[in-house]
C-alpha cells in the first residue's frame, strides 16, 4: 500500500507532495518552510528517504536542499539543471526504490523549463501516480516563457510533446498530481477543479486535443504578466537557498514605525481591507493577510527593501512571515499588533478613506462629478471590457506610475476588491484622495455603467462613446481572478 499526502499552499497556488509506504517516503517539490513537511512525515511515521525537484522553480524558494540536509535524504534534481550544490542528478528513466515494491521513475518532460522532469510512482510495476510539476497541469500546462523569452516557442513545442509523452506512457486512471496550476502564475491558465487523471486530460487538455501549431499559438497568445519577483527565484534556487528563520520579529513601537516610514521602508498592514480603510497609519500599505499576500507584496516591493508588518494578532504576523519566506522575503524588520491607535505617536491621527460599490460610482457619474476611475486589473482582464473613460494601470505597475494618475478623486477598482484595496493604500500613501471600490466587476453593468473594449466598441460591438443608451452586458467576459 502507498499513500499520497497533499501539502497545499493557497497563497502561491502550489502544492507539494509527501509520498511513500509504511516506512519510507519521498517529498516532491517541497516548500521553503520545511517544518510542516517534517511534521507530516512524523504523523505518518515514515522516514523521508528522498527529496525530489521537478525543476528549478521560478515562483517560490524551495526547501529541498535544507530538507535533504536535515533528514539525510538523497536530493534528486534534474541532471540538466545548472545548480551550485551537491545533489543526486536524475536523468530520463532513472529510478529510485522508495521501499520494496514502490519505485519512483524520472520522466523527462521539458517545456516549463528545458530540464523539467516529472516522476511516475509505480507500485509492483504498475504506474499509480504522476507528479508532473509544471508540465501537465489540470486543464493546462506550465507556461514556457519564464526561462528566456527567446526560448518561449521552442519550450511551448516541448510542452506539447511532453504532455503527449505522459499520455502515451500512462493509463487513463493514473492521477495527475501537478505542483502548479492552483492560482500560481507559473500556469499558462488556471485549473478548474483540484483533481484530474491522465484520461481526463487526454480528453480535455488543449495540449492533448490540439495540433502542436494551434496549441502553441493559443497558449502564447494567452500568457499573462509575469510577477517581477520571479526574476529572483530561479537564481536563489540554483545557488542553494539558506535555511529560514521563523523566530518572531522585534516589536515596533510608534516611534520606530514612523522612523521606518521616514526612511522609505515599507510598512505593510495585514488587516482586512475594511479595517484598513476605516483607520490606518499614514503611509502604510494594505496587503490582506488572507489574500495572495506573498505574491503581491513580492511583486510590488522594490526587491530587498525592509518590511515592517502590522496586524491584529501575533498569529497573523507569524502566518505572514511564513508566507513571505516562501518567496525570499526572509525576515520582517519589525512588527506590531493590537490597537492601531498605538501605532502612531502622541498627537498624530490615523488616516482613512471611503469604500464604495459600483452603484455608488454610477451615481457619482450621473450627478456629473468629475472623478478619475482607475482600473488596476491586468491587461488580459481589461481586454474583456472596461468602464468607459477609465484609466488603466495594472496593480503591479502602479507603485512606479502613481504620477501618471490624473488629478482628482480616484475611484479605484479591480475584479472583486482585494487589489483595489492595495491600490487605494498606495494612492492614499502618496497623498491622493481615493475611494476603494469593493465590489465584483459584474456589478458594474448592473449599476448601469457602460463597458467597452480596447478596440473602441462596446461589448455589444457598437462604436463608442455613447451620449446615452442602455446598459451593455458582457456576461462571461470577466477574468476568473476574483480578487
Residue 467's pLDDT is 30
CB contact set of 482 (below 8 Å; sequence gap of 6+)? 415, 416, 440
Query: Residue 118 in contact with residue 133, Cβ under 8 Å?
Result: yes
Series of mean pLDDT values for 10-residue runs along the chain (483 residues): 94 94 98 96 98 97 98 98 97 97 98 98 97 96 93 97 98 97 78 86 96 96 92 97 95 98 98 98 96 93 97 97 96 97 97 98 93 96 94 97 97 97 98 98 94 70 41 34 40
Prior bond of 465 cis (ω within 30°): yes
Contact call for residues 474 and 385 (beta carbons, < 8 A): yes
H helix runs in 240-344, sequence order: 254-262, 273-278, 293-300, 314-325
Task: Report pLDDT for 377.
Answer: 97
Smallest CA-to-CA distance from 403 within 413, 412, 411, 393 is with 393
The pLDDT value given to residue 211: 97
Compute the distance between CA of residue 355 and CA of residue 234 in angstroms, rounded to an integer.
Answer: 39
Q: What is the pLDDT of residue 475?
A: 32
pLDDT at 459: 54
What pLDDT does 477 receive? 31
How many other C-beta atoms lie within 10 A of the C-beta of residue 356? 16
Q: What is the pTM of this model?
A: 0.91
DSSP 179: S
pLDDT at position 460 is 55
Distance in angstroms (rounded) separating the CA atoms of residues 83 and 237 = 8
pLDDT of residue 261: 98
pLDDT at 473: 37
Amino acid at each position: 500500500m502507498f499513500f499520497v499526502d497533499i501539502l497545499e499552499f493557497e497563497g502561491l497556488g502550489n502544492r507539494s507532495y509527501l509520498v511513500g509506504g509504511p516506512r519510507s517516503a519521498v517529498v516532491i517539490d517541497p516548500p521553503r518552510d520545511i517544518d510542516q513537511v517534517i511534521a507530516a512525515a512524523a504523523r505518518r511515521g515514515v522516514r523521508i528517504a528522498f527529496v525530489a525537484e521537478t525543476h528549478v522553480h521560478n515562483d517560490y524558494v524551495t526547501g529541498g536542499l535544507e530538507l535533504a540536509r536535515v533528514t539525510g535524504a538523497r536530493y534528486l534534481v534534474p541532471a540538466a539543471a545548472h545548480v551550485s550544490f551537491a545533489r543526486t542528478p536524475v536523468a530520463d528513466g532513472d529510478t529510485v526504490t522508495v521501499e520494496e515494491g514502490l519505485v519512483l521513475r524520472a520522466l523527462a518532460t521539458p517545456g516549463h523549463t528545458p530540464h523539467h522532469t516529472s516522476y511516475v510512482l509505480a507500485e509492483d510495476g504498475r504506474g499509480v501516480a504522476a507528479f508532473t510539476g509544471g508540465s501537465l497541469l489540470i486543464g493546462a500546462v506550465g507556461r514556457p516563457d519564464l526561462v528566456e523569452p527567446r526560448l518561449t516557442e521552442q519550450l511551448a513545442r516541448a510542452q506539447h510533446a511532453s504532455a503527449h509523452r505522459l499520455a502515451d506512457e500512462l493509463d487513463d486512471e493514473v492521477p495527475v498530481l501537478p505542483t502548479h496550476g492552483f492560482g500560481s502564475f507559473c500556469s499558462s491558465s488556471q485549473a478548474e477543479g483540484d483533481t484530474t487523471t491522465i484520461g481526463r486530460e487526454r480528453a480535455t487538455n488543449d495540449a492533448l486535443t490540439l495540433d502542436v501549431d494551434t496549441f502553441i499559438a493559443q497558449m502564447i497568445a494567452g500568457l499573462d504578466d509575469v510577477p517581477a519577483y520571479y526574476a529572483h527565484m530561479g537564481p536563489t534556487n540554483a545557488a542553494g537557498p539558506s535555511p529560514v528563520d521563523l523566530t518572531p520579529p522585534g516589536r515596533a513601537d510608534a516611534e520606530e514605525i514612523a522612523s521606518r516610514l521616514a526612511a522609505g521602508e515599507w510598512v505593510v498592514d495585514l488587516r482586512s481591507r475594511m479595517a484598513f480603510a476605516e483607520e490606518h497609519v499614514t503611509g502604510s500599505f494594505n496587503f490582506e493577510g488572507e489574500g495572495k499576500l506573498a505574491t503581491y507584496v513580492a511583486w510590488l516591493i522594490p526587491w530587498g527593501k525592509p518590511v515592517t508588518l502590522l496586524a491584529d494578532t501575533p498569529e497573523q504576523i507569524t502566518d505572514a512571515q511564513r508566507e513571505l519566506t516562501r518567496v525570499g522575503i526572509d525576515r520582517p524588520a519589525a512588527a506590531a499588533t493590537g490597537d492601531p491607535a498605538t501605532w502612531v505617536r502622541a498627537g498624530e491621527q490615523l488616516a482613512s478613506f471611503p469604500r464604495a460599490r459600483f452603484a455608488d460610482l454610477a451615481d457619482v457619474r450621473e450627478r456629473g462629478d468629475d472623478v478619475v476611475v482607475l482600473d488596476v486589473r491586468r491587461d488580459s482582464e481589461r481586454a474583456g471590457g472596461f468602464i468607459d473613460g477609465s484609466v488603466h494601470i495594472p496593480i503591479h505597475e502602479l507603485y512606479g506610475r502613481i504620477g501618471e494618475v490624473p488629478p482628482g478623486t480616484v475611484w479605484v477598482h479591480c475584479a472583486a476588491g482585494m487589489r483595489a484595496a492595495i491600490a487605494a493604500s498606495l494612492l492614499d500613501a502618496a497623498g491622493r484622495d481615493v475611494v476603494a471600490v469593493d465590489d465584483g466587476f459584474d456589478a458594474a453593468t448592473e449599476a448601469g455603467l457602460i463597458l467597452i473594449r480596447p478596440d473602441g466598441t462596446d461589448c455589444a460591438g457598437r462604436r463608442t462613446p455613447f451620449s446615452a443608451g442602455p446598459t451593455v452586458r458582457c456576461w462571461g467576459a470577466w477574468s476568473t481572478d476574483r480578487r
